[in-house]
Amino acid sequence: MLEDKVLTLIGAGKLGEALVLGLLKNSGLAKDDIRATVGHEESVKRAVDKLGVATGLDNKAAVDGADIIILAVKPQKMESILAQIAPVLKPEQLIISVAASITTSYIQQRLKGDNPVIRAMPNTPSIMNAGMTGLCGGEHAKEIHLAQAEQIFKCVGETVFLDESLMDGVTALSASGPAYLYVVIESLAEAGVKLGIPRDTSTLLAAQTMYGAAKMVLESKAHPALLKDMVTTPAGCTIDGLMELEEGKLRVTLIKAVVTAAKRASELVES
Ligand SMILES: NC(=O)c1ccc[n+]([C@@H]2O[C@H](COP(=O)([O-])OP(=O)(O)OC[C@H]3O[C@@H](n4cnc5c(N)ncnc54)[C@H](OP(=O)(O)O)[C@@H]3O)[C@@H](O)[C@H]2O)c1
């Protein structure tokens, strides 16, 4: 589906680079099929060295002739980027935005035509091909556009389609989520250090345990509570640890963290 397509990435930053690397590895697109832009001259060399695709500063020139345009700039830059490219866009060009907080209607209002627009919310594990991307289509996005977007983000991990009203929640849960989970890994590793385990070993124990637990949830499809019960022997040591987590309000703290981040996600840019 992406064969013969030309793809332009506006904003070859952390996330944009991960996407291009995934596409080059898994989509069938070649370096010649992809171009990128950055905001500053000094970033051009970095992007070229890392991605090997033509990279420049001219967004208007970069979108000319592209079939798919991915917008991966900071949300606060979207207004000016859309103002730059809107006059030169052709109606059939597909626009995919990964910017937090920016709705499809925000983009649609700033384009001159009825371009198909898709909003995507990936996360940084996309760099490791273990990303999670929430996707939704705007007013003019058709099945073919949704399928193309799905194919793009499948190159860097899993995808799920949701109603746009849930996208701030996705931002707070799976896009911000790695940060929360790094804190959990770091804390478990600290616990190992407190118990005398060397830090490197302790971090490995913690990270591989989180990876394994996630794999159990994903592959067994069992409810996490059931998997937790499998580890928790009556009168064993795990139940004592779980009681500490309950007393420390881990559950409600995580719930509140995601709910608060979702509220902030909805406020990053005024529509
Ligand atoms: N990081 C995440 O975990 C994550 C997850 C999901 C979604 N997102 C979304 O992804 C977007 C990018 O985030 P990021 O973390 O990748 O940020 P980033 O590393 O700062 O990347 C932003 C990129 O945009 C470029 N840029 C700035 N002004 C530009 C312009 N006028 N024309 C073309 N490119 C321009 C920057 O170039 P210079 O370096 O030269 O300034 C940089 O390469 C954001 O909207 C964010 O909400 C991020």
CA 102 to chain centre: 14
Give the per-residue pLDDT at 92: 95
With the most atoms of ligand 1 within 8 angstroms of its CB, the residue from 74, 82, 159 to mutate is 74
Percent of the chain at pLDDT > 90 equals 96
Q: Is 249 helix (H, G, I), strand (E, B) or coil?
A: coil
With a 6 Å cutoff on the Cβ, whether 124 touches ligand 1 is yes
Ligand 1: residue of 17, 48, 73, 152 to mutate (most ligand atoms within 8 A of CB) is 73
What is the helix (H) or strand (E) element at residue 118, kind and residue range?
Answer: strand 117-121
**pTM (2 decimals)?**
0.94
Q: What is the set of domains in the chain, with CATH numbers?
A: 7-172 (3.40.50.720), 177-265 (1.10.3730.10)
Please tell me if the CB atom of residue 38 comes closer than 6 angstroms to any atom of ligand 1. Answer: yes
Asked whether the predicted pLDDT for residue 113 surpasses 90, the reply is: no
> What residue ranges in the chain does DSSP mark as E strands?
7-10, 34-37, 54-56, 68-71, 94-97, 117-121, 131-137, 157-161
What digits encode the pLDDT tens for the residues 169-180? 999 999 999 999
What's the DSSP call for residue 141? -
In terms of Cα–Cα distance, which of 73, 64, 66, 43 is closest to 55? Answer: 43
CA–CA separation, 181 and 187 (whole Å) = 10
